[in-house]
Homo-oligomer: A and B are copies of this chain.
Amino acid sequence: MSLVNLSITAIRELIRAGEMTGQTAGLANGYLQANLVILPEKYALDFARYCQRNPKPCPLVGISDSGNPKFHSLGHDLDLKTDVPSYNVYADGKLIDSPTQIDGLWQADFVGFALGCSHTFEEALVNQQFDIWHLLHNKTVPMFKTSIQTVPSQMFSGEMVVTMRAIPHDRLHEAVAISKQFPLAHGAPVHIGNPHEIGITDLNTPDWGDPAPIPEGSTPVFWACGVTPQIAIQNAQLPIAITHKPGSMLITDIHDRAEIPVLNQDFSLSIT
């Protein structure tokens, strides 16, 4: 069965039932996908500040109500306990488990943060005939920990994680201009060219995802990545924090071209 043509409702049912536990790239086309961070309310204001100060890796698209697993601003019936294919569970800053649902772990003080992801601008690049290697080869985008420091907020700090895509030399300006249109999907790249300048020693050994080649005539281009807060959470050594598993995103009911990521808030204009 190919998942690619399934409706968002069908995909969510499979995820909720634990029958789809993998990558979400290319699924439920046209809907905003998001990185997810869940943590106790006690740390939520500091984490909101961390996201606000680091909008390129952590573009805030939603903050759920404390204790309520339903994410009302992003979905009609979107449940943080079950609706991500696979989760990462961190205890005292260490990854201890990668379950497919977190029903038994949910706490009455949990707050969910949804952060924009790169799928939105990737789709826009593909629509302009950019060849994105990992998409063409059904792999996960290569992700690297860099030497770029994020702006701290109390216990949250750490290096920025980036994704890499090879872009033809003569189309760099175009790729920058396209991605810059999507500030909630990491916006313009943070670096172009030499990976060593941002602390990446070997493009063939990404920290997450699969290595991707740099074809002759192309340049490696680096965008801020929503896996960045997973480093900050490890550094913060929170007693408990839960995220999506990299690549396995929260699929929302928001259209990926919506001006704002809020359900039922449509200010589209008719100009006659």
User: Which residues 200-234 of A have a CB within 8 angstroms of B?
Assistant: none
- Interface presence of A173 (CB below 8 A): yes
Stretch of A8-16, A188-196, A236-244 at the chain-chain interface: A188-196
State whether A53 and B262 are in contact (beta carbons under 8 Å apart), knowing that A41-B45, A45-B44, A45-B45 are contacts in the complex: yes
- Contact between chains at A151 and B262 (CB < 8 Å): yes
Given contacts A176-B271, A191-B269, A269-B188, contact A48 B73 (CB under 8 A): no
Is A142 positioned at the interface, with any CB of B under 8 Å from its CB?
no
Chain B binder among A60-68, A91-99, A132-140: A60-68
Count, chain A residues at interface, CB 8 A: 39
Give how many copies assemble into the complex: 2
Report Cα–Cα, A265/B187, bound state, in Å. 14
Contact A56 B192 (CB under 8 A): no
A259 on the B face (CB < 8 A): yes
Chain B residues with Cβ under 8 A from A53's Cβ?
Answer: 63, 73, 262, 265
Contacts of A188 in B (CB 8 A): 259, 267, 269
Q: Are A176 and B269 in contact (CB under 8 A)?
A: yes
Contacting pair B48 A262 (CB below 8 A): no
Q: Is A20 an interface residue (CB 8 A)?
A: no
Instruction: Determine whether the beta carbon of A63 is less than 8 Å from that of B73.
Output: no
Contact indicator B267/A190 (Cβ below 8 Å):
yes
Q: Are B56 and A267 closer than 8 Å at their CB atoms?
A: yes
Q: Are B189 and A260 in contact (CB under 8 A)?
A: no
Contact of A269 among B60, B66, B192, B271 (CB under 8 A): B192
Residues on the B chain within 8 Å of A262, using CB: 53-55, 151
Return chain B residues, CB-CB under 8 Å to A56. 260, 265, 267
A52 on the interface (CB 8 Å rule)? yes
Q: Are the C-beta atoms of B271 and A172 separated by less than 8 Å?
A: yes
As a 0/1 sequence over residues 60 to 84 of chain A, the CB contacts with chain B under 8 angstroms (1 = contact) are 1011011000000100000000000
Most buried by B among A66, A189, A269: A269
Bound CA–CA A44/B48 (angstroms)? 10
B52 close to A62 (CB less than 8 A): yes
Neighbour of A63 across the interface among B48, B176, B187, CB < 8 A: B48
